[in-house]
Amino acid sequence: MARKKTLRDVHLSGQPTLVRVDFNVPLEDGKITDETRIQGALPTIQALLDAGCPVTLCSHLGRPKGKPDPQFSLKPVAERLAEALDAPVTMAPDCIGDEVAQMRSDLGAGEVLLLENTRFHAGEEANDADFARALAGNAELFVDDAFGSMHRAHASTVGVTEFIGACVAGMLVGKELDALAKCRAASGDGFIVILGGAKVEEKINAITQMLPRVEKLIIGGAMAWAFFKVMGREVGASLCKDSSVEAAAQIMKKMDDELLARMMLPLDVHMKQVKPDTGETKFADAAAIEPGWNALDIGPKTRDEYGRIIRDEAEIVFWNGPMGYFEEAPFDEGTLAVARALADTKAFTVVGGGDSVAAVTQICYEDDMSHISTGGGASLEYVQGDTLPGVEALDEA
């Protein structure tokens, strides 16, 4: 893939700029509970302000289904962003329309305007050309710094590039592409991929595309039980949807024995009795899950083996998805064990995906990782070799 231009490749001379940021922050009662994404956008915004650019920011928040919904307003973000920048941030009443166009036209050098949620319009997710043209507005430069949305061909990630002369990656996206490129290009000995989560069907492409490239592909989370079921093992009351089983069967049928040997499944599990619901928990070998028991995490043998592979065999590691029911102790232990192993290894390590990142930050190991991605789905698609529409739409260097 040809290198894409970044903000460093552009001569900034006060040109009106539209920045696609990722302000899809968690809110509770209108209060931001995690401002990581706001902090991540600051370097790009500040660089533009320092260059005297009138800066218009756009983002989605939540899933308002193509119409205005006050609970998904970006107003709380505007207030917090103003504090973080120590500068005024004007909040627009909408993201398009005559009033917004006038506000953008009146925006002075080094001033910031935050547009309202782009998903308040159906044209955003439909990548509607008229909506994209209106969103592009008077911008002479487009900067995409929302990596977590670049796998979506929406108006704010792809459509606007048809109406703006220069389109480049922001500082955050530039860092993402540099780090993920190492995983995207990796193959053979020393390349270890760790995939977790509940749904094989969501990661079937990742598994089939990565197995030929990896030394080992480590599987954890509830999707492991789908592979067990295809192998004829008892999975008890464990989460194991028919769609996941069908996807696992497709993978095992498609891949030859040599490739399947690279896929590491749990050796043992940590399970809980739910039928009857006694609440009792115990460890069991992977082939000894009992009826009425719910496997919720990998067991100690698996933690040790996965940790050994990560520490002793890895040169490049990409991790996406939890090893178990991370939300509830003690079934977070498998995920935390993987996080600790990544902190201990000398390999180049990339972590992507909400629960994986949460595990790393929970035990304060984020500084021990080579890179923590801001886009779970986007990072996985990029590493497995897919093209991201938002990346493809940017200018080539």
pLDDT tens digits for range 326-335: 989 999 999 9
Tokens of 143: 């900067």
Tokens 């061909």 belong to residue? 153
CA 397, CA 178: separation in Å to the nearest integer?
14
- Choosing from 5, 199, 233, 301, which is the catalytic residue? 199
- Which of helix, strand or coil describes residue 288? helix
Q: How far is CA 49 from CA 12, 46, 139, 229, in A?
A: 10, 5, 15, 56
Whether 356 shows a pLDDT value over 80: the answer reads yes
Give the torsion sign (CA, 132, 138, 141, 142): negative
User: How far is it, in rounded angstroms, from Cα 3 to Cα 7?
Assistant: 13
Scan for tokens 């939540």, then name that residue.
62
pLDDT of residue 1: 64
Residue 52 is a catalytic residue: no
Instruction: Give the pLDDT of residue 376.
Output: 80
Compute the average pLDDT of residues 14-37: 91
Q: Quick one: average pLDDT of 341-357?
A: 90
Over the stretch 75-124, which tens digit does the pLDDT of each residue have?
999 999 999 999 999 999 999 999 999 999 999 999 999 999 999 999 99
pLDDT at 96: 98
pLDDT of residue 332: 93
What are the phi and psi torsion angles at 104 (to 5°)? Answer: -70, -40
Q: How confident is the model at residue 377 (pLDDT cuts 50, 70, 90)?
A: confident
- Tokens for 326? 């991370």
pLDDT score of 198 more than 90:
no
Cα 117 from Cα 344, distance rounded (Å) = 41
Return the number of other C-beta atoms located less than 10 Å from residue 364's C-beta: 9
**Active-site residue 377, yes or no?**
yes
Q: Check if 20 is active-site.
A: no
Q: pLDDT-based confidence at 359, cuts 50/70/90?
A: confident
| Phi, psi dihedral angles at 189 (to 5 degrees) | -55, 135
Cβ atoms of residues 248 and 224 within 8 Å:
no
Has 354 been annotated as catalytic?
yes
- List the chain domain ranges: 7-175, 186-383
- Write down the catalytic residue from 170, 236, 334, 377: 377
Q: What's the helix, strand, coil split of the chain in %, to 5? A: 40, 15, 40
Two tokens, residue 103: 């506000």
Same fold, 7-175 and 186-383: yes
Q: How far apart are CA 146 and CA 37, in angstroms?
A: 9
The predicted model gives 26-38 an average pLDDT of: 86
Percent over 70 (pLDDT), the chain: 100
Q: Quickly state the pLDDT bin for 284 (edges 50, 70, 90).
A: very high
- Averaged confidence pLDDT in the chain: 94
Give the least confident one: 44-53, 149-158, 194-203: 194-203
Q: Does domain 7-175 have CATH number 3.40.50.1260?
A: yes
Per the CB < 8 A criterion, the answer to whether 45 and 6 are in contact is: no
Partner residues linked to 90 by β-bridges:
113
Rounded to whole angstroms, the Cα distance separating 111 from 88 reads 8
Indicate whether 280 pLDDT > 90. Answer: yes
CB contact at 8 A, 125 and 119: yes
Rounded CA-CA distance 249/50 in Å is: 55
Class level of CATH domain 186-383: alpha beta
User: Beta-strand (E) ranges in 13-98?
Assistant: 17-20, 27-28, 31-32, 55-58, 89-91
SS3 274: coil
Cβ atoms of 289 and 269 closer than 8 Å: yes
Q: Which two tokens stand for residue 224?
A: 């492991």
* 389 phi, psi to nearest 5 deg: -55, -40
pLDDT above 90 covers a percentage of the chain that reads 87
The answer to whether the Cα torsion of 308, 309, 310, 315 is positive or negative is: positive
151, 389 Cβ separation under 8 angstroms? yes
Cβ–Cβ under 8 Å, residues 343 and 370: no
Would you state the structure tokens that stand for residue 44, as one six-digit string? 């790009």
User: Helix 171-185 to helix 36-50 angle, to the nearest 10 degrees?
Assistant: 120
* pLDDT tier at 26, thresholds 50, 70, 90: confident
Mean pLDDT of 21-48: 91
Element (H, E) at 97: none
Q: Which residues contact 111 (CB under 8 A, 6 or more apart)?
A: 54, 55, 88, 90
User: Which tokens in the block code for residue 333?
Assistant: 């232990």
Calpha distance 109→372 (Å, rounded): 33
Using 50, 70 and 90 to split pLDDT, how confident is the model at 275? very high
Angle at 387 between CA 381 and CA 393, to 5 degrees: 130
